[in-house]
Structure 1
Amino acid sequence: MDVRQKMQKINSYIIDSQEEEIKRIAIELHEGVGQNLYSILTGLQVVESGINEQQMKNYVHEMSQLIEKTIQEIRLLSVELHPPTLTAFGILPAMKSYLKLYTSTFGILVDLESVGGESNLPERSKIAVFRVCQEALANIAKYADTSKVKMTFHWLEAELKITIDDFGKGFQLEEHDGTLPSHSSGIAMMKERMHLTGGKCVISSKIGEGTSIELSLPL
């Protein structure tokens, strides 16, 4: 086993371990912390119904609303960390669910299109594709200065191709090797995730015209 293969094995182990920990945290947030807060909310609502003094009643009601808002935020965070639809229903339903959260958070409208019949991806590939798309969208929100994104899934006979176009301000690729600026560590992880699943991640960008990310994965 050469050095490159050893590094790939180590990176794969690290990523798999991270995903297991993320999944555990997401479940704990939803089923542990979330459920405990829901029990507290129910108790406060019972207390509120038995209070006669209006000022105290208003205070308890405000606390109930705050806890209810916190429960919603925890649910959203849990979905962002590890959407249950990803395992149960596949990459497209999971992405649609995530895009609703993404649009409500950043105000960026994502036009998602799927061409061809969806294939059932292995668990590792589903997670890799979801994380790469998630990272791409996060970078768009941070750097692209755009209000719309086009994402297309092309389901071919032996390959899944995904294109993500942001129509934003773009950036300058380094001319000597086509790599990204050194601060874009998230993009490097995107490339590595796709590589470990046998796929590719190719980025092209032009100042004033936006950035295009092309993912490909064998089926």
Structure 2
Amino acid sequence: MQPHKNRINSYIIQSQEQEIKRIALELHEGVGQTLYSLYTGMQFIENAIDQPDMKKYVEDMTHVLEKTIQEVRLLAVELHPPTLLTLGFLSAMKSYLTIYTSTYGIEVDFEVSGNEVQLSEKESITLFRVCQEALANIALYADTSKAKIIVRWGPDTVEIVIKDFGRGFDVNGALSKPTGLLAIKERMRLINGECMVSSQINEGTTIEISLPLLN
């Protein structure tokens, strides 16, 4: 029964990732490109107008479009960073952390040791989603302005520690009902990885994950 359940869970997650990738591509290549065309058109109109009030109005609309384009691009990267499969997990994480800090105001200390190992697409996406989920939980619940991620590349294992210095919570209670923590554990299990969660009230939370590397 358990192997059948594992196959179903794996299929659901893979289907979700395919849909997320499609939406991210549509945001970037479709909506993003359309907005950019409107933006360049507004700039052309702005330069051609002599009436001060109308010129100011068009200028304001141009700035709104520019801001919207940036938000769409950031959302596309958040959904599926283009560097994840081309430049690797670390590059994708660095790009995402820039967006994360600008969005939530939480500074994340990112430490890396060892030499990065090329991961499979499934492994890369899983590790990225786990970090993304953990960081989302920090922004929603931790009530802190600082967090830390440590990535250790070893000869046969990659280990990632995600730590915040916030309010903490009851781990047993959180794991007894559907939460982001359970999603993290399930994702890691499906790629033969492990996940440990520890937390103390008013001292913060630590999530430790490890993934065996194929030599």
Q: Could you tell me the TM-score, scaled by structure 2's length?
A: 0.96
Distance in 2 (CA, whole Å) between partners of 1:77 and 1:88 is: 19
Q: Could you tell me the TM-score, scaled by structure 1's length?
A: 0.94
Distance in 2 (CA, whole Å) between partners of 1:102 and 1:18 is: 22
- Does residue 79 of structure 2 align to residue 81 of structure 1? yes
What does the per-residue CA deviation read over 1:99-148, in whole Å, with 9 as the maximum and x for residues that have no partner?
Answer: 01111111111111111111001100000000000000000111111111
- The amino acid across from 1:180 in the alignment is L
- The count of residues paired between Structure 1 and Structure 2 equals 213
Distance in 1 (CA, whole Å) between partners of 2:104 and 2:16 is: 26
RMSD: 1.2
- Does residue 52 of structure 2 align to residue 54 of structure 1? yes
Distance in 2 (CA, whole Å) between partners of 1:63 and 1:179 is: 46
The residue that corresponds to 2:206 in the other structure is 212
- Does residue 25 of structure 2 align to residue 30 of structure 1? no
Using the TM superposition, give the Cα deviation of residue 173 of structure 1 relative to its aligned residue in structure 2, in angstroms: 2.6
Distance in 2 (CA, whole Å) between partners of 1:52 and 1:164 is: 55
Tell me which of 167, 170, 173 is aligned to 2:168: 170
What does the per-residue CA deviation read over 1:50-96, in whole Å, with 9 as the maximum and x for residues that have no partner?
Answer: 11211111111111111111000000000000000101101101001
Matches within 5 A, 1:43-192: 43-174=41-172, 180=175, 182=177, 185-192=179-186
Using the TM superposition, give the Cα deviation of residue 207 of structure 1 relative to its aligned residue in structure 2, in angstroms: 1.1
**Identical-pair percentage:** 58
- The amino acid across from 2:59 in the alignment is H
Structure 1 unmatched ranges of 5 or more: none
- The amino acid across from 1:84 in the alignment is P
Distance in 1 (CA, whole Å) between partners of 2:134 and 2:79 is: 15
- The amino acid across from 2:57 in the alignment is Y
Structure 2 unmatched ranges of 5 or more: none
- The amino acid across from 1:56 in the alignment is M
